[in-house]
Amino acid sequence: MRWKHRPEGSNWGDFGPDDQLGRMNLLTPERRLAGIREVQQGVAFTLSLPLDYPGPMVDMRKPPRLFVEQMEDGSPAYNQVSDHCSDVMCDDGVVLYTQFSTQWDSLAHMGQKFDADGDGVAEKVYYNGYRADEHMLGPDHPDGPYARALGIENMAAAGVQGRGVMLNFKAMFGTDYRRVGYDDLMRTIDAQKVDVQKGDFLLMHVGYDEAVLSMNRQPDRSILDILGAGLDGSDPRLLQWIDDSGIVAICSDNLAVEAYDWDNPPGADHAILPLHELCLFKLGIHLGELWLLHELADWLLAHNRSAFLLTAPPLRLPGSVGSPATPIATV
Ligand code: UVW
């Protein structure tokens, strides 16, 4: 073990001392078959925004920028022709910010200051005891930036496909700002007859995606920051339910899955994103953010259904702390 003390309520070590997958370990062949059994009509929904949406939201995350390299003769590798054949060819590259748009958070995205050695000194620690200094190589490191553990390639290699279930918080509560705790969660599960099973992906539609699309790459934070439901990470019963449920991931059309308040930090010993703390740091539950969910959520509601097959691999991009995704739900 790379820790003497694990955080209270964590599952560190339960999937092995070197585990980097967390709850994705529960995504077994049986769970993929359970997802496939939900396919009745073969209708598919693409759950990604165009990757140049939502537009500027977080300063350090910028829209994708395409570029074209030069050929040996200095001409751009675009609309290339040759005297020796009839083909016309284009090539391009891209500067891609991994968390700008529809994305997965890897388990390397967020850790905590935590005394894993039990020596009274809190270090920067990530899921299963991986350390900032040893495993999360920053830009100053000769090999950095690079997550030497917990990078998104681990999830990508796990075959991200299984049974998904939708909670339609927009249908339940509208689009006013709402911190959804355990009671609201249970009301929604009961009202929408959602059967959440161990090994499921939990998707939650709050209405953020439609607002983002309507803003045409010029997002208005004064509207979006108070739009719709976010999970209430300060509700211990909600956190306990997430632990008990055995879900492998939580995905939403909003920015962070959980409700948060950057203007009121909770103090040095507490997480400002407690649901991220529980999911990414303690339990190894991946979070999907800024997904495009309204078409699927509307269809499921109209057909009195809530479950589907979800296929949602991230890029197999070694060392990355997040990844764009183009998830597909099949109903
Ligand atoms: C926020 O931006 C608040 O969340 P994340 O870093 O997970 O995208």
- 165 near 159, Cβ under 8 Å? no
Is 261 exposed, middle or buried, given 0-12, 13-18 or 19+ CB atoms closer than 10 A? exposed
Q: How many CB atoms lie within 10 A of CB 187?
A: 13
Cα-to-centroid distance, 33 and ligand 1 (Å): 32
In the chain, DSSP assigns E strands to 44-46, 65-67, 80-82, 85-89, 93-95, 103-105, 112-114, 123-125, 136-137, 146-147, 161-168, 178-180, 201-205, 229-231, 249-252, 286-289, 307-311, 322-324, 328-330
- 181-211 tens-digit pLDDT: 999 999 999 999 999 999 999 999 999 999 9
Mean per-residue pLDDT, 309-329: 98
- In terms of CATH, what superfamily is 22-57+99-109+151-330? Putative cyclase (3.50.30.50)
- 289-310 tens-digit pLDDT: 999 999 999 999 999 999 999 9
DSSP element (H, E) containing 36? helix 29-36
**CA–CA–CA angle 301, 305, 306 (5° rounding):** 90
ipTM for this model: 0.95
Round the average pLDDT of the chain to a whole number and report it: 97
The model's pTM: 0.97
Residue in the structure block whose two tokens are 């702390």? 321
Residue 18 is encoded by which pair of tokens?
Answer: 């070197």
Q: Which atom of ligand 1 is closest in space to residue 260's alpha carbon?
A: 3
**Helices and strands of the chain, counted as H and E runs:** 10, 19
Cα-to-centroid distance, 256 and ligand 1 (Å): 5
% of the chain beyond a pLDDT of 70: 100
pLDDT bracket for residue 90 (50, 70, 90)? very high
Nearest CA to ligand 1 atom 6: 256
Round to the nearest angstrom and report the end-to-end CA distance of the chain.
42
Cα-to-centroid distance, 136 and ligand 1 (Å): 18
Q: Could you tell me which of 200, 24, 314 has the C-alpha nearest to residue 16?
A: 24
- 147-166 tens-digit pLDDT: 999 999 999 999 999 999 99
Nearest CA to ligand 1 atom 7: 256
Mean per-residue pLDDT, 30-55: 98
For 33, phi then psi, to 5°, come to -65, -35
Nearest CA to ligand 1 atom 1: 256
**CA–CA–CA angle 138, 9, 277 (5° rounding):** 35
